[in-house]
Structure 1
Amino acid sequence: MVKVWHALVGGLATVGALGVGGWHLVTHWAPSTERYKLQGVDLGEDAAVPEWPTVRGRGADFAYLVATSGTDRRAPNFETNWQALPDAGMRRGAAHLYSLCQPAEDQANAFNTVVPRTGDALPAAVDLSFREDCAARPERAALVAELRRFLTIVETHTGKPA
């Protein structure tokens, strides 16, 4: 009985140590600064407002923030985060979650309405995502044409290639 107890305690201790080690690795991992000189973060559509000076202190040079999704969704904390980044010494860029079910022009206009045109902004980013509310899967040529339309409108607004 004592041997079983020792084996159980030893097994639990091992599992606990592996869990703590794994948690530490996940929360403290960063890519090599020798290989990747500039490092950054991206914030999703529903992200909170981080402590940007802390993020900068942990080595992030820039942040991409999701600003819009399709024509109808705006990231609630985009403006707050956008305004806070320069004060933290970080570069900033805006991203759009592109919907296959909504017109490119309307999506670009939604993005341009939310994202200010500033000289310090990084080029806009586009994330092609399959939204739960969209079952469309357009042909390649149609998708490329719509993306070009979206990019042309956004690039005209931002003054930078996306």
Structure 2
Amino acid sequence: MHGSGKTRSRAGETRRRRRVPLLIGMICAALALIVTTPHVAAAGHDPRVGSASMGSTVLEHEGGNRVYRHPTVTPLATVEGVDVSGHQGNVAWSTLWNSGVRFAYVKATEGTTYKNPYFAQQYNGSYNVGMIRGAYHFALPNVSSGATQAGFFASNGGGWSRDGKTLPGVLDIEYNPYGATCYGLSQSAMVSWIRDFVNTYYARTGRWAVIYTTTNWWTTCTGNYGGFAANNPLWIARYASSPGTLPAGWGYYTFWQYTSTGPTVGDHDLFNGAYDRLQALAGG
């Protein structure tokens, strides 16, 4: 009996030793699932969404000045501004005001899920130092319809009020930072998506959205469609000494993002007109 007990003991020990690697393997597999899957499964979108900002794709695709250089422009009646996103965190607005910056655009949303966690400090902070401010939406046309994203934007910081200090919202439509340049849409589908967005934004706010883009992207992804110029002001991005050729339909630009390496915050912009014209744009 003693011999058979030892045999059973050794057999049990052998089974336990076999189970240990198996249990370890199962635990590792479970941990891997916990770490890698919930971001995509829970959010239902690319976990990188939210990392893009106005002009974040321009240097990569089109190049331009990589060292800050203030352009010499004609006419000289221009107003200096900046655009910011969550990347800048809490912004030193008084420093920018003292340097001559008089307007600011703040990223509010991206796609249908992302809201800038620093939006309140940036949007209200720029206003509190005296700047005219506005909000922008980074478009992801492959995620949902233009109407859905315009509604999300208008409900989360992208609205407009007739206070004389709030600019109309901006549709930031540029190279896809997460995949195919044109988000998998044909040129006609892209035009329809943009139309859906701007029409919905107008219905929600009573203002036509400003369209931010580059001439190269616009030509590639919309076929250089010229039908938005009648209603939607143009914000052109080009990091050079001039804004260059504009997309079809627009005879002039309203805003120009001329650098991503400016002082205090990277993205600096010019309004194409005197300060009272910027006030008029804000006033509707």
TM range (shorter): 0.7 to 0.9
Q: Structure 1: which 5+ residue stretches go unaligned?
A: 1-24
Q: Return the offset for 1:36.
A: 5.0
User: Which runs of structure 2 are paired with 1:70-149 in the superposition (5 Å)?
Assistant: 70-102=111-143, 103-115=145-157, 116-119=159-162, 120-129=165-174, 130-132=176-178, 134-135=179-180, 136-149=183-196
Aligned sequence identity (%): 27
Runs of 4+ in 1 over 6 A off after TM superposition: none
Equivalent residue, structure 1, for 2:204? 157
Is the contact between residue 39 and residue 59 of structure 1 (CA under 8 Å) also seen in structure 2?
Answer: yes
User: What does the per-residue CA deviation read over 1:132-157, in whole Å, with 9 as the maximum and x for residues that have no partner?
Assistant: 1x543211111111111111111222
Using the size of structure 1 for normalisation, the TM-score is: 0.74
Distance in 2 (alpha carbons) for counterparts of 1:31 and 1:54: 21
Report the AA paired with residue 152 of structure 2.
A
Specify whether residues 72 and 93 from structure 1 end up closer, same or farther in structure 2 by C-alpha distance, changes over 3 A only. Answer: same
3-state SS of 1:123 partner: coil
Distance in 1 (alpha carbons) for counterparts of 2:72 and 2:99: 13
Equivalent residue, structure 2, for 1:48? 89
Instruction: Say what the alpha-carbon RMSD is for the aligned residues.
Output: 2.1
Q: Structure 2: which 5+ residue stretches go unaligned?
A: 1-66, 210-284
- Which structure is higher in helix share? 1
Using the size of structure 2 for normalisation, the TM-score is: 0.44
Pair member with larger Rg: 2
